[in-house]
A and B are shown apart, each in its own frame.
Chain A
Amino acid sequence: MNKKNLREEIVLRAGVNPKKCMKCGKCSGTCPAYDEMEYHPHQFVNMVDTGDIEPLLNSESLYKCLTCFACVERCPRGVEPAKLIEAVRLSAIRKQGANRMTPNDVPAFVDEDTPQQLLVSAFRKYTK
């Protein structure tokens, strides 16, 4: 898939328009996972917009996003960075065999305090 098609696919899947970004950086400013990330939310938006998506697909940053939606809530322009990150993540794990999680991995995570919802959401995020 070429660069332009990939950008369009991701934008379509995310349902948001990265062109609306005014580069204020409030998404990164508000992000609780910032320090874990190689590419920060505001960079994500810019890289998707310019079609520079390959480095994102190969970056661990995709899995560091907590999907807490703080950036979505606070973005003054309605760009909703978390939705773009989710869309890029789906591009990565929808490739054959790219699952980040299998049912075998689950028991290791489970203890009394783990909410079921967490497992459901992890499966949604990390499997095809």
Chain B
Amino acid sequence: MQRIGVFVCWCGSNIAGTVDVKAVAQALKLEPGVVFSTDYQYMCSQAGQNMIIDAVKEHNLTGIVVCSCSPRMHEATFRKTAAAAGLNPYMVEIANIREQCSWVHKEMPIGTEKAIILGKAAVAKVNLNTPLTPGESPVTKRALVIGGGIAGIQTALDIADAGFPVDIVETKPTIGGKMAQLDKTFPTLDCAACILTPKMVDVAQHDKIRIFSYSEVTEVKGFVGNFDVTIKKKARFVDETKCTGCGDCVDKCPMKKNPNEFNMGMDNRSAIYIPFAQAVPKVATIDAGACTMLKKGKCGLCSKVCGAGAIDYTQKDQFIEEKYGAIVVATGFNPISMDKFDEYAYSQSKDVITSLEFERLTNAAGPTQGKLLRPSDGKHPHKIVFVQCVGSRCASCAEKGKEYCSKICCMYTAKHAMLTRDKYPDTEVYVFYIDVRTPGKNFDEFYRRAVEEYGVNYIKGMVGKITPEGDVLKVQASDLISNKQLHIDADLVVLAAAIEPDKSARPLATMLTASMDTNDFFTEAHPKLRPVESPTAGVFLSGACQGPKDIPETVSQAGAAASKVIGLLCKDKLTGNPCVASSNEMMCNGCSSCERVCPYGAITYTDKEFRMPDRTTQVRRVASVNPAVCQGCGCCTVACPSGAMDLRGFANNQIMAEVDAICK
């Protein structure tokens, strides 16, 4: 028989406001097995924990029930308390009388009654608890970073600087991501390339970092500390070890009319290309869809001019298998497609562009060498209209836009408007906004400078429609402050397109069994307290794959993710979760139901010899669980038709005892 202590927490007035905690303690004292029961203001405080430790010693307790907040909040705290008192940590049960009781009820009698019932269920469960000991597994001391933008670069550098090897997998031919495409960065207006490219070089030169560019993760197996990952190195038809990045092949290639992705398709590149001058690795890549040698077997010019002999038309996709202890997701974002916003005429006029395209138009390495010229006729625009929130905060048009605020647009639009006025004072600049959101260090000051010092016209009101007419764009919008309709003949319109997670994120989340929200942003383990960890152990989040973020925020989150990874890789062994499934081989009928439902691939079937009651030997097919892989979700226990599968710590008989206690 257990000797159980019950500890009812007030949580200040959080619980005590709607639950009569003394009555709960009194009622639970009468439950079978309970030898001690008390209440206290803050059970999780040092004094509260000491109260538990003293009670364990004084009353020889073998089990503990804490009636308090959700176990997600403080179960770990009270398990440590139990361990400090010399008990097995798994002899603690939490009755959640806050989130599931006091916070959802308004009246004291109802709250109290429910708290008592929840407490009784927990007591019934502890009566059947058995001490559990977690297993251990080793840690592979290498990290994988998926995505080579500023988020991935910063995370990789921080992990590598701590002495652990890191691999970066980047799907494009170069690392650098979106930041490499930017001209200047708010609010200090540093040139993006000047602060990013040194970091890219650091990555390339770091002896602990390997870059897999033009590569993708195709398979992830295993678990925290022991991931087995398959990386596909796509054929780039250039030997990376030989190519010097001289660019002779790029100059000679006759197939020059391919849209240049790096310049948002606003100019062309050759079939063999290096995305930009500071690319890392600075290695040419052949676009197989555009190269006549690969398509028709004719040409071969690049091979002839290559002094290093690096061109290899026979190169095939390569699959690399590697082990990692931790995985960081840094897959980033993209602007959404503007094709469905007919009212803004993006597909009808070349002079309606997105902000990222504007960024390339003003970038010295861009298609116009940094001169702000209209894409349609190469003339200097004298009247520019910026439209904010295109596709952001769009609750009614899921097929067009996104419900969330994209967060970065207010600031980069202020930057674009300010820089335009600075460089071309003869240009009239209008910004149409719904709200200007500038919460960040020196952000609002920056926006005000655009208005007060640079004379940017900020107009409250969304643009209604844009109609191309001759060589102007007729912009119709309502000025809500002066309650007037505006008709502006603009030369150039810039749309602040909403941003969305990269399309590769969803299949990657499936591979990693990491959860996502409805917008395909990765979900963090806790929105406030564990913002850089995925709920899946060993998977960490960096940058805009978790939610819209600007560069300062991305870099700080990247560092935070790195520190979590370092904390994991520092350990030689990981303590597992002892609450895993186990199969009673005598009852298992070998039906494979559990194997089919297991999301983690933790269950295998083996043929085993059994001694039968009549002293014969029989070979039977039975399930066995790999406790290191099992996450304790319990799917198998539900699927098992013969009741052979059971979950330690959440055994079928324990759950039935809880149900009985509630229904009594």
Q: Give the B-binding residues of A (Cβ under 8 A).
A: 20, 22-31, 34-35, 40, 42-43, 70, 74-78
Cross-chain contact A24 with B464 (CB below 8 angstroms): no
Complex contacts, A76 vs chain B, CB 8 Å = 389, 393-397, 401, 462
Q: List 23 A-B contacts (CB under 8 A).
A: A24-B393, A24-B434, A24-B462, A25-B478, A26-B462, A27-B464, A28-B461, A28-B478, A29-B461, A29-B463, A29-B464, A30-B343, A30-B464, A30-B465, A30-B476, A35-B485, A40-B478, A40-B485, A42-B480, A43-B483, A70-B464, A76-B389, A77-B394
Known: A24-B462, A34-B478, A42-B478. 14 other contacts (CB 8 A): A25-B460, A26-B461, A26-B462, A28-B485, A29-B465, A29-B476, A29-B478, A34-B485, A70-B464, A70-B465, A76-B393, A76-B395, A76-B396, A76-B401
**Given the complex of chains A and B, what is the CA–CA distance between A25 and B485 in angstroms?**
11
Is B477 located at the chain interface by the 8 A CB criterion? yes
B461: nearest chain-A partner, CB-CB: A25
Cross-chain contact B461 with A24 (CB below 8 angstroms): yes
Closest 10 A/B residue pairs (Cβ): A29-B464, A78-B396, A30-B464, A28-B478, A26-B462, A25-B461, A24-B434, A24-B462, A29-B478, A76-B394
Complex contacts, A24 vs chain B, CB 8 Å = 389, 393, 434, 461-462
**Given the complex of chains A and B, what is the CA–CA distance between A22 and B463 in angstroms?**
14
Interface centre among B389, B396, B461, B477, by most chain A C-beta atoms within 10 angstroms, is: B396
Complex contacts, B464 vs chain A, CB 8 Å = 26-31, 70, 74
Complex contacts, A75 vs chain B, CB 8 Å = 396
Given known pairs A24-B462, A28-B478, A30-B476, the reply for A77 and B434 (CB within 8 Å) is: no
Complex contacts, A31 vs chain B, CB 8 Å = 464, 478
From residue 439 to 487 of chain B, which have CB atoms closer than 8 A to chain A?
460-465, 476-478, 480, 483, 485
Complex contacts, B395 vs chain A, CB 8 Å = 20, 76-78
Complex contacts, B460 vs chain A, CB 8 Å = 25
**Given the complex of chains A and B, what is the CA–CA distance between A30 and B343 in angstroms?**
9
Contact of A23 among B434, B465, B476 (CB under 8 A): B434
Cross-chain contact B393 with A22 (CB below 8 angstroms): yes
Q: Give the A-binding residues of B (Cβ under 8 A).
A: 343, 389, 393-397, 401, 434, 460-465, 476-478, 480, 483, 485
B401: nearest chain-A partner, CB-CB: A76
Q: Report the minimum CB–CB distance from A16 to chain B (whole Å).
A: 10
Q: Report the minimum CB–CB distance from A22 to chain B (whole Å).
A: 6
Cross-chain contact B396 with A77 (CB below 8 angstroms): yes
A79: nearest chain-B partner, CB-CB: B396
Interface centre among B389, B461, B462, by most chain A C-beta atoms within 10 angstroms, is: B462
Q: Report the minimum CB–CB distance from B547 to chain A (whole Å).
A: 20
**Given the complex of chains A and B, what is the CA–CA distance between A76 and B476 in angstroms?**
17
**Given the complex of chains A and B, what is the CA–CA distance between A5 and B462 in angstroms?**
32
A41: nearest chain-B partner, CB-CB: B478
Complex contacts, A20 vs chain B, CB 8 Å = 395
B341: nearest chain-A partner, CB-CB: A74
Q: Report the minimum CB–CB distance from B463 to chain A (whole Å).
A: 6
**Given the complex of chains A and B, what is the CA–CA distance between A39 and B478 in angstroms?**
13
Complex contacts, A30 vs chain B, CB 8 Å = 343, 464-465, 476
A25: nearest chain-B partner, CB-CB: B461
Complex contacts, B434 vs chain A, CB 8 Å = 22-25
Complex contacts, A74 vs chain B, CB 8 Å = 343, 464
Complex contacts, B401 vs chain A, CB 8 Å = 76
Cross-chain contact B396 with A26 (CB below 8 angstroms): no
Cross-chain contact A40 with B483 (CB below 8 angstroms): yes
Complex contacts, B478 vs chain A, CB 8 Å = 25, 28-29, 31, 34, 40, 42
**Given the complex of chains A and B, what is the CA–CA distance between A77 and B395 in angstroms?**
5
Cross-chain contact B477 with A29 (CB below 8 angstroms): yes
A35: nearest chain-B partner, CB-CB: B485
**Given the complex of chains A and B, what is the CA–CA distance between A73 and B45 in angstroms?**
56
Q: Report the minimum CB–CB distance from B589 to chain A (whole Å).
A: 54
Q: Report the minimum CB–CB distance from B433 to chain A (whole Å).
A: 9
Complex contacts, A28 vs chain B, CB 8 Å = 461, 464, 478, 480, 485
Complex contacts, A22 vs chain B, CB 8 Å = 393, 434
Complex contacts, B394 vs chain A, CB 8 Å = 76-77
**Given the complex of chains A and B, what is the CA–CA distance between A74 and B477 in angstroms?**
13
A37: nearest chain-B partner, CB-CB: B485
Complex contacts, A40 vs chain B, CB 8 Å = 478, 483, 485
Q: Report the minimum CB–CB distance from A75 to chain B (whole Å).
A: 6
Q: Report the minimum CB–CB distance from A82 to chain B (whole Å).
A: 14
Complex contacts, B485 vs chain A, CB 8 Å = 28-29, 34-35, 40
Interface centre among A28, A30, A34, A35, by most chain B C-beta atoms within 10 angstroms, is: A28
A78: nearest chain-B partner, CB-CB: B396
Complex contacts, B465 vs chain A, CB 8 Å = 29-30, 70
Complex contacts, A77 vs chain B, CB 8 Å = 393-396
Interface centre among A28, A29, A70, by most chain B C-beta atoms within 10 angstroms, is: A29
B396: nearest chain-A partner, CB-CB: A78
Complex contacts, B393 vs chain A, CB 8 Å = 22, 24, 76-77
**Given the complex of chains A and B, what is the CA–CA distance between A76 and B403 in angstroms?**
9
Interface centre among B394, B395, B478, by most chain A C-beta atoms within 10 angstroms, is: B478
Given known pairs A76-B397, A76-B401, the reply for A26 and B480 (CB within 8 Å) is: no
B483: nearest chain-A partner, CB-CB: A40
Complex contacts, B480 vs chain A, CB 8 Å = 23, 25, 28, 42
**Given the complex of chains A and B, what is the CA–CA distance between A31 and B395 in angstroms?**
20
Q: Report the minimum CB–CB distance from A5 to chain B (whole Å).
A: 28
**Given the complex of chains A and B, what is the CA–CA distance between A10 and B476 in angstroms?**
29
Interface centre among A30, A40, A75, by most chain B C-beta atoms within 10 angstroms, is: A30
A74: nearest chain-B partner, CB-CB: B343
**Given the complex of chains A and B, what is the CA–CA distance between A97 and B448 in angstroms?**
55
**Given the complex of chains A and B, what is the CA–CA distance between A20 and B393 in angstroms?**
11
**Given the complex of chains A and B, what is the CA–CA distance between A43 and B389 in angstroms?**
21
B480: nearest chain-A partner, CB-CB: A25
Q: Report the minimum CB–CB distance from B195 to chain A (whole Å).
A: 35
B481: nearest chain-A partner, CB-CB: A25
**Given the complex of chains A and B, what is the CA–CA distance between A76 and B396 in angstroms?**
6
Complex contacts, B396 vs chain A, CB 8 Å = 75-78
Q: Report the minimum CB–CB distance from A61 to chain B (whole Å).
A: 13
Contact of B463 among A23, A26, A35, A42 (CB under 8 A): A26
Complex contacts, B476 vs chain A, CB 8 Å = 29-30
**Given the complex of chains A and B, what is the CA–CA distance between A40 and B477 in angstroms?**
12
Complex contacts, A78 vs chain B, CB 8 Å = 395-396
A76: nearest chain-B partner, CB-CB: B394
Q: Report the minimum CB–CB distance from B9 to chain A (whole Å).
A: 38
B465: nearest chain-A partner, CB-CB: A30
**Given the complex of chains A and B, what is the CA–CA distance between A115 and B536 in angstroms?**
63
**Given the complex of chains A and B, what is the CA–CA distance between A34 and B483 in angstroms?**
10
B435: nearest chain-A partner, CB-CB: A22
B392: nearest chain-A partner, CB-CB: A76
Complex contacts, A23 vs chain B, CB 8 Å = 434, 480
Q: Report the minimum CB–CB distance from A13 to chain B (whole Å).
A: 20
**Given the complex of chains A and B, what is the CA–CA distance between A35 and B397 in angstroms?**
27
**Given the complex of chains A and B, what is the CA–CA distance between A9 and B615 in angstroms?**
83
